[in-house]
Amino acid sequence: MNQYKLNNLRELEAESIHIIREVAAEFENPVMLYSIGKDSSVMVRLAEKAFHPGKVPFPLMHIDSKWKFREMTAFRDRYAKENNWDLIVHYNKKGFEEGVGPFTHGSKVHTDIMKTQALLEGLTKYGFDAAFGGARRDEEKSRAKERVFSFRDRYHQWDPKNQRPELWNIYNARVHKGESIRVFPLSNWTELDIWQYIRLEEIPIVPLYFAKERPIVEWSNALILVDDERMPKELADTAKMRKVRFRTLGCYPLTGAVESEADTVEKIVEEMMTVTKSERTTRVIDFDQEASMEQKKREGYF
């Protein structure tokens, strides 16, 4: 029976493609949220696969906090263009004009205004009734219980105690006007699966994931890249060249680098499997408060 057996990655792939197609078939106006991270890159490839040889029938939306690494933005624009995606870039105009940023307002206010509020604004503006996100259940504890189709009320809020039962591969896509579903096609993927798949499928990812000599400062107990001139000068002046890479990507002042020699996917996996720190701990926002991610999710953040 071996000829009728799928390996782990191909089974995950088949499941994700099925989920993505269900959304395209049953919702009127879906969107794929694109964070430019490695998980997003995998999700985007799965969408391309799901509708091959046709075009993906929904757009990508990137919520730009205006504090992303410059390499991310460049990668985003190039990828969307080369792969013929409709790309929406949305940012919180008011917050941007008022100069909200992590150096001046702290991570909590910045994340709330430039990420959570911006996301809700973007979803409302275009009237999306379904939004794909690249979250995985293994990356963070509160996500372990979230459904693949995660219902949000008209205020975009998640109620962990009142989730729709989800059985077999049958997804309930019914929502009233104003309500929506967040869809997580990568729910069952682990970090190792993601890297294995990137390797297998040769999926392009932002170069920041690979170790390289970069100008680094120490700030808030993290190694922060000097990415642009908005970093306070006295801080930027402390920069030293260090060989680092990023395990996750977000706003540059809030995303800590790790010292590393891993400059290939293989070496990253090797490093990942022999270092025991969990992946998200390099993100500054998680330390804000106890169970902060769950709180943010209830408020509408992914």
Footprint of another protein on this chain (CB under 8 A)?
1-2, 4-15, 17-18, 21-22, 24-26, 48-55, 137-138, 141-142, 144-145, 160-161, 163-170, 172, 174-176, 187-188, 190, 192-193, 196, 199-200, 266-267, 269-270, 273-274, 291, 294
CA dihedral 160, 163, 169, 175 (to 10 degrees): -120
Q: Is cis: bond before 59, omega within 30 of 0?
A: no
Give min distance, CB of 236 to another protein, in A: 33
Distance, in Å, from the CA atom of 67 to the CA atom of 80, rounded to the nearest integer, reads 20
Pair 20, 47: CB distance under 8 Å:
yes
Residue closer to another protein (CB basis): 165 or 229: 165
Report helix, strand or coil for 179: coil
Q: How far is CA 138 from CA 134, 193, 225, 256, in A?
A: 12, 11, 27, 20
Give min distance, CB of 184 to another protein, in A: 11
Q: How far is CA 213 from CA 228, 237, 250, in A?
A: 16, 17, 19
Residue closer to another protein (CB basis): 69 or 85: 85
Give min distance, CB of 276 to another protein, in A: 8
Distance, in Å, from the CA atom of 134 to the CA atom of 205, rounded to the nearest integer, reads 14
Give min distance, CB of 243 to another protein, in A: 17
Residue closer to another protein (CB basis): 73 or 188: 188
Give min distance, CB of 75 to another protein, in A: 21
Distance, in Å, from the CA atom of 198 to the CA atom of 29, rounded to the nearest integer, reads 29
Pair 301, 285: CB distance under 8 Å:
no
Give min distance, CB of 246 to another protein, in A: 20
Give min distance, CB of 123 to another protein, in A: 19
Residue closer to another protein (CB basis): 73 or 142: 142
Q: What are phi and psi of 121, to 5 degrees?
A: -60, -45
Show Cβ contacts of residue 121 under 8 Å, excluding neighbours closer than 6 positions. Answer: 90, 92
Residue closer to another protein (CB basis): 98 or 259: 259
Residue closer to another protein (CB basis): 68 or 136: 136
Residue closer to another protein (CB basis): 46 or 285: 46
DSSP, res 285: G
Give min distance, CB of 300 to another protein, in A: 17
- Of the candidates 108, 118, 31, 32, the one whose C-alpha atom is nearest the C-alpha of residue 295 is 108
Residue closer to another protein (CB basis): 150 or 255: 150
